Amino acid sequence: MAAPLLLSTIILALVVVASSTHGTMANGVFQVRRKFHIVDGVYKGSDIGALQTHDENRHRRRNLMAAELPLGGFNIPYGTGLYYTDIGIGTPAVKYYVQLDTGSKAFWVNGISCKQCPHESDILRKLTFYDPRSSVSSKEVKCDDTICTSRPPCNMTLRCPYITGYADGGLTMGILFTDLLHYHQLYGNGQTQPTSTSVTFGCGLQQSGSLNNSAVAIDGIIGFGNSNQTALSQLAAAGKTKKIFSHCLDSTNGGGIFAIGEVVEPKVKTTPIVKNNEVYHLVNLKSINVAGTTLQLPANIFGTTKTKGTFIDSGSTLVYLPEIIYSELILAVFAKHPDITMGAMYNFQCFHFLGSVDDKFPKITFHFENDLTLDVYPYDYLLEYEGNQYCFGFQDAGIHGYKDMIILGDMVISNKVVVYDMEKQAIGWTEHNCSSSIKIKDEKTGATYTVQADNISSGWRIQ
């Protein structure tokens, strides 16, 4: 994240099918951007380090997260997501760019009275601050509102406070407000209209650490973690959406779709989410195959405990594996290429190769509970950074201080529709052309609407 900023080359659209009638099921649309620069599927040389710097920040955060900060309410630490989207808040609506993060649950934006907040950012230039007085629909959460369950306790000075800590030392604190969240709903094939729902979110009054760094500052963060305290859960509780979302990230064209609602096409096979954690989308990985041969690994290597497990994370760019898996994997992948000499670049193992890597390197298959598989091709895991120069995209989690977690990031979940079904506590995927379309169900009418990657309204309009 601290990388030289390669701005928003990937535009995704977050689509939520919605019905405007109060109290009925709906979905919605946001436009999502990605911070790293990928041209024709090729990571530009200088970006290789950037990918890693980004992920390193996330993982430092996550390490501390395991320590579980004893905070309540909106207080769950997170990891920085790669994607951000514009949303509208208030009446009249004001536009904010918030990070989309599947590894956290809090939703907050900077508040107007924030004294110690960056006011400019290399990503957004000028930041936008939430001003309750200029929104007629704004309501401060009161101490006796049931939603105010926060610690430190509510009092006249703090009102209803939230504190969210981050593992890299980043911290945001402020008070809770309720206001209208604006997004787009789909009401026909490729047709959207604006809608809004009242949600409670944090209004930041003080940012510190990484959140107080103008190089990477954004207006706020919206968490899509596996928790019942997310903005998505609030939309669901209001009867506005199902607790299902999906993304389809196109690593070649840099486009894609991010949708809330039930995907009816393509059909996706799922694996259960292992629920032993407040936020992550953890799954049961069973084995890893390289060119059809199963890697020989210790029996307990894939178990899920407080400190280990496998999670699907759209907010990480790469894939992090425990040292023992990493070494077996790299041996197997390069088994047929004893002539290749590896050179280290940042924390990558890189090499020179003439010819088509797709023909000469094996497919890697991850096997999950319920017979769900994840195929990873050479063009996914061999990052080309200059002509004929490639880096092995898998990372040894140990050198990143992240020993036992298996983090499956964008590198292996792009070019697939990935569905997060929090209602059934299942996650699944299927290979898909993310520059094409998907079909989403309107819960109210039962109709299914096509959402095309290159034809989604870019969010909502500012009045």
Binding-site size, ligand NAG (CB under 6 A): 17
Q: How many CB atoms lie within 10 A of CB 156?
A: 6
Q: Give the burial class of 82: count Cβ atoms within 10 A of its Cβ; 0-12 exposed, 13-18 middle, 19 or more buried.
A: buried
Which residue stretch of 17-25, 90-98, 183-191, 344-352 sits at the interface with ligand NAG (rule: CB under 6 A)?
Answer: 183-191
- What's the closest the beta carbon of residue 116 comes to ligand NAG, in angstroms? 4
Is 122 designated active site?
no
Say if residues 317 and 311 touch (Cβ distance below 8 Å): no
Query: In angstroms, rounded to a whole number, what is the distance separating the alpha carbons of residues 84 and 11?
Result: 10
- The single residue among 20, 21, 134, 191 that binds ligand NAG, judged by CB under 6 A, is 191
Query: In angstroms, rounded to a whole number, what is the distance separating the alpha carbons of residues 396 and 408?
Result: 13
Told to check if 169 binds ligand NAG by CB under 6 A, we report no
Q: How many CB atoms lie within 10 A of CB 137?
A: 15
Which residue stretch of 2-10, 128-136, 149-157, 313-321 sits at the interface with ligand NAG (rule: CB under 6 A)?
Answer: 149-157
Query: In angstroms, rounded to a whole number, what is the distance separating the alpha carbons of residues 93 and 327?
Result: 52
Told to check if 448 binds ligand NAG by CB under 6 A, we report no
In this chain, which residue has its C-beta nearest to ligand NAG? 190
Q: Which is nearer to ligand NAG, 278 or 404 (CB)?
A: 278
Told to check if 156 binds ligand NAG by CB under 6 A, we report yes
- What's the closest the beta carbon of residue 360 comes to ligand NAG, in angstroms? 21
Q: Which is nearer to ligand NAG, 386 or 423 (CB)?
A: 423
Told to check if 149 binds ligand NAG by CB under 6 A, we report no
The DSSP code for 456 is: -
- What's the closest the beta carbon of residue 423 comes to ligand NAG, in angstroms? 12
Which residues, in sequence order, are CB contacts of 126 under 8 Å at separation 6+?
119, 120
Query: In angstroms, rounded to a whole number, what is the distance separating the alpha carbons of residues 421 and 216?
Result: 31
- The single residue among 20, 21, 134, 155 that binds ligand NAG, judged by CB under 6 A, is 155
Q: Which amino acid does the sequence have at 462?
A: I
Told to check if 158 binds ligand NAG by CB under 6 A, we report yes
Of 47, 313, 380, 421, catalytic: 313
- What's the closest the beta carbon of residue 339 comes to ligand NAG, in angstroms? 32
Q: Which of 27, 9, 10 lies closest to 18 in space, CA to CA?
A: 27
Question: Residue written as tokens 């007085």?
Answer: 133
Say if residues 108 and 203 touch (Cβ distance below 8 Å): yes
Told to check if 458 binds ligand NAG by CB under 6 A, we report no
Q: Which residues belong to the active site?
A: 101, 313
Contact footprint for ligand NAG (CB under 6 A): 116, 152, 155-158, 189-191, 206, 208, 212, 228, 433, 435-436, 455
